């Protein structure tokens, strides 16, 4: 997408000529005064740069700058000044304007100033992204659990952390794959280095390639500057490729080459770049099946799968549920400023009985909502979401007669749809009213 520039000047010839000149590289808008400028900012959220005259009737440049900083703080402001207003232009820079140009405007200088401003902003956002990742990553590195399965995973993490081996983390959604990756990084020799994450499923193919490997200036329309990719940003650290099962075929080839040679080229570039990066990838997809189906390269699979950590679903380590539930209870009490002592035995039974298809993330959400809803000092059955009680009331004994089979089918449908009756009725192939009648008949009116 093109960068958009707003040209503000009360001299019509100046604003129109400047806008015309810039329109070959940028999308341009014009305004004759401060008021029009704000109208344009309001109408076009894509405006990234304001090129504005200093001396204008009603609202002068400094006032405009003040207002822009209050309402559109990410917008870059560059001033155009006559000889008489240089002093206020310098003042404006002190207040946060990016730069100023003197009239008559040297068009070459104008272009360079705009490009530098954009590059400067990109570097800043790169920096903010890295800092934010550091903050996020330092939060969650504690794996709670005492089951034999978690013990095995902790052992594996300890062993791989001291090496630079490529790790593939597998497991259902919400089981803690990212947490495992975090723990490996922060226990490794590159813990002080960058930890960069990419969600391969969240970006379109074209964007993903330049996001991972970077691009050279002019690599495609809109590539005004060289941009480093996440592989370069992760140099001397760890790169987590999340949702690796969604990696498009073209990028699989490029990743394979990186794993073989530790080098790549930026998109549109010829220079070979070498980086030292520990790679962790994660997915909830069955990668082996994807290989069989021809959707994931077998050679890449083997390269990624040097060490393999499979995080088991919640239902296979039920003994960890109380610890994890209590850990999140304490955490959410702190976040929401609540004093809740415990989870009642009845509520815990219900939590233990549920099959948690969304694993720890689902359990966490359930605890958070219970913490918010509870007014007592204990989480009871009543503060848990209703879909838990549906699965709890299901009998462990197989149904004996038609009556029980029907009742079980209804409970199953309500369980799968989390108590959504219209959906459950659809699932069962009956009308909503029939469902209500049957619930009534089976004494399950409250569901
Ligand atoms: N053993 C654990 N103890 C406490 N909290 C955990 C544990 N495992 C995971 N969590 C928490 O559960 C949430 C989900 O974990 P995470 O994001 O690592 O899962 P994931 O497997 O990457 O999920 P997805 O496949 O949906 O991306 C996180 O907030 C994480 O901190
Ligand atoms: Mg994840």
Distance, CA of 446 to chain centre: 39
Going by alpha carbons, the residue nearest to atom 3 of ligand 1 is 144
Nearest atom of ligand 1 to the alpha carbon of 172? 25
SS percent in the chain: helix, strand, coil, step 5: 50, 15, 35
* Residue 87 placed within a domain: yes
Q: Per-residue confidence at 440, pLDDT binned at 50, 70, 90? A: confident
- 139 — pLDDT class (breaks 50, 70, 90): very low
Q: Is residue 447 part of a domain?
A: no
Choose one of 141, 179, 182, 283 to mutate for the ligand 1 pocket test, by most ligand atoms within 8 angstroms of C-beta.
179
Q: Whose CA is nearest to atom 10 of ligand 1?
A: 176
Which atom of ligand 1 lies closest to the CA of 178? 18
CB of 312 within 6 A of ligand 1: the answer is no
Residue 6 contacts residue 27 (beta carbons within 8 Å): no
Task: Identify whether residues 185 and 251 lie together within a single domain.
Answer: yes
Does ligand 1 come within 6 angstroms of the Cβ of 194?
no
Query: Can you give the residue range of the structural domain that contains 433?
Result: 402-441
In a domain, 228, yes or no: yes
Q: Is 331 in the pocket of ligand 1 (CB under 6 A)?
A: no
Indicate whether 297 pLDDT > 70: yes
Question: Is the backbone peptide bond immediately before 7 cis, with ω within 30 degrees of 0?
Answer: no
pLDDT higher than threshold 80 for residue 317: yes
Confidence at 134, pLDDT banded by 50, 70, 90: low
Pocket of ligand 1 contains residue 171 by CB under 6 Å: yes
Decide if pLDDT at 331 tops 80.
yes
pLDDT grade for 360, boundaries at 50, 70 and 90: very high
**Probe residue for ligand 1, chosen from 143, 174, 241, 329 as the CB with the greatest number of ligand atoms within 8 Å:** 174
| pLDDT category of residue 413 using cuts at 50, 70 and 90 | confident
Q: Of all atoms in ligand 1, which is nearest to the CA of residue 180?
A: 18
**Per-residue confidence (pLDDT) for residue 140, from 0 to 100:** 46
Q: Are residues 159 and 301 in the same domain?
A: yes
Helix (H, G, I), strand (E, B) or coil at 179: helix
Ligand 2 (ion): which residues have CB within 5 A? 178
Atom number of ligand 1 nearest to Cα 283: 25
**pLDDT at residue 150, rounded to an integer:** 92
The pTM assigned to this predicted structure is 0.65
Q: Establish whether residue 178 lines the binding site of ligand 1, counting it when its CB lies within 6 angstroms of any ligand atom.
A: yes
> Which protein residue's CA is at the shortest distance from atom 15 of ligand 1?
176
Q: Is any ligand 1 atom within 6 A of the Cβ of residue 361?
A: yes
The reply to whether 130 falls in a domain is no
Ligand number nearest CA of 198 is 2
* Mean pLDDT of the 362-381 span: 93
Same domain, residue pair 376 and 346: yes
d(CA 319, CA 113): 62
Q: Is 143 in the pocket of ligand 1 (CB under 6 A)?
A: yes
CA-based max dimension of the chain: 96
Note the pLDDT of residue 112: 93
DSSP symbol at 215: B
Cβ 225 vs Cβ 161: under 8 Å: no
CATH number at residue 434: 1.10.10.60
Model pLDDT, residue 138: 47
**Tally of CB atoms within 10 A around 77:** 25
Token representation of residue 20: 């015309």
Beta strand segments in 253-366, E: 263-265, 272-274, 277-283, 307-311, 342-343
136-145, 209-218, 391-400: the lowest-pLDDT one: 391-400
Q: What is the CATH number of the domain that holds 188?
A: 3.40.50.300
Q: Is the pLDDT of residue 128 over 90?
A: no
- pLDDT higher than 50, residue 23: yes
Q: Mind listing the pLDDT tens digit for each residue in 384-410?
A: 988 787 666 655 556 667 777 888 888
Same domain, 307 and 162: yes
Q: For the chain, how many structural domains are there in total?
A: 4
Atom number in ligand 1 closest to CA 311: 21
Atom of ligand 1 nearest to the CA of 182: 18
Q: Residue 131 pLDDT > 70, yes or no?
A: no
Spacing, Cα 305 to ligand 2 middle (Å): 17
**Domain identity same for 242 and 169:** yes
Residue 374: pLDDT over 70: yes
Beta carbon of 174 within 6 Å of any ligand 1 atom: yes
DSSP-based three-state secondary structure for 171: strand
- Does residue 178 sit in the same domain as residue 211? yes
Residue 289 and residue 159 share a domain: yes
Do 191 and 234 have their domain in common?
Answer: yes
CA dihedral 242→246→249→254, nearest 10 degrees, is -10
Ligand nearest to the Cα of 146, by number: 1
Same structural domain, 299 and 330: no
Tell me the average pLDDT across 203-225.
88
Q: What is the CATH number of the domain that holds 107?
A: 3.40.50.2300
From ligand 1's centre to the CA of 140, what distance in Å? 9
Domain co-membership, 234 together with 280: yes
d(CA 184, CA 13): 61
Whether 288 and 363 share a structural domain = no
Residue 107 scores a pLDDT above 60: yes
pLDDT at residue 246, as a whole number: 95
Alpha-carbon distance of 201 to 208, in angstroms, equals 9
Q: What is the mean pLDDT of residues 377-382?
A: 92
Quick one: angle between helices 345-353 and 321-336, nearest 10?
120
pLDDT in tens, 34-91: 999 999 999 998 899 999 999 888 888 899 999 999 889 889 999 998 877 778 888 8
Same domain, 79 and 40: yes
Looking at every residue in the chain, the average pLDDT score rounds to: 89
User: What's the gap in Å between 10 CA and the centre of ligand 1?
Assistant: 57
| Ligand nearest to the Cα of 358, by number | 1
State in Å, rounded, how far the first CA of the chain is from the last one. 51
């Amino acid at each position: 997408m093109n960068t958009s520039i707003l040209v503000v000047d009360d001299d019509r010839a100046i604003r129109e000529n400047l806008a015309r000149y810039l329109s070959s590289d940028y999308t341009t808008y014009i305004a004759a005064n401060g008021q029009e400028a704000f109208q344009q900012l309001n109408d076009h959220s894509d405006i990234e740069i304001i090129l504005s005259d200093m001396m204008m009737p009603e609202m002068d440049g400094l006032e405009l700058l003040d207002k822009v900083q209050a309402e559109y703080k990410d917008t870059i402001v560059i001033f155009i000044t006559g000889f008489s207003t240089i002093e206020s232009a310098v003042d404006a820079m002190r207040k946060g304007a990016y730069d100023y140009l003197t009239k008559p405007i040297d068009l070459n200088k104008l272009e360079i100033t705009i490009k530098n401003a954009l590059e400067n902003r990109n570097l800043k956002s790169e920096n903010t992204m890295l800092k934010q990742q550091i903050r996020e990553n330092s939060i969650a590195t504690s794996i709670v659990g005492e089951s034999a399965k978690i013990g095995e995973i902790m052992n594996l993490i300890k062993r791989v952390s001291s090496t630079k081996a490529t790790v593939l983390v597998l497991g259902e959604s919400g089981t803690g794959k990212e947490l495992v990756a975090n723990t490996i990084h922060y226990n490794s020799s590159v813990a002080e280095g960058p930890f960069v994450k990419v969600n391969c499923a969240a970006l379109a193919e074209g964007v993903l390639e330049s996001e991972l490997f970077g691009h050279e200036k002019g690599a495609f329309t809109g590539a005004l500057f060289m941009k480093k990719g996440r592989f370069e940003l992760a140099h001397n650290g760890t790169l987590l490729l999340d949702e690796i099962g969604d990696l498009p075929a073209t990028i699989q080839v490029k990743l394979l080459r990186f794993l073989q040679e530790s080098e790549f080229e930026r998109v549109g570039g010829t220079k070979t770049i070498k980086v030292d990066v520990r790679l962790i990838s994660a997915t909830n997809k069955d990668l082996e099946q994807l290989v069989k189906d021809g959707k994931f390269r077998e050679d890449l699979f083997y390269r990624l799968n040097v060490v393999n950590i499979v995080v088991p679903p919640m239902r296979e380590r039920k003994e960890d549920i109380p610890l994890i539930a209590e850990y999140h209870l304490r955490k959410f009490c702190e976040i929401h400023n609540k004093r809740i002592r415990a989870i009642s035995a009845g509520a815990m039974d219900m939590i233990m009985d549920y099959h948690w298809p969304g694993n720890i993330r689902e359990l966490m959400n359930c605890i958070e909502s219970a913490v918010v809803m509870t007014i007592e000092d204990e989480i009871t059955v009543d503060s848990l979401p209703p879909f838990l009680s549906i699965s709890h009331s299901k009998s462990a004994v197989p149904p004996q007669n038609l009556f029980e089979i029907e009742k079980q089918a209804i409970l199953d449908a309500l369980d799968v749809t989390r108590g959504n009756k219209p959906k459950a009725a659809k699932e069962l192939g009956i009308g909503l009213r029939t469902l209500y009648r049957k619930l009534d008949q089976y004494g399950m009116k409250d569901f």
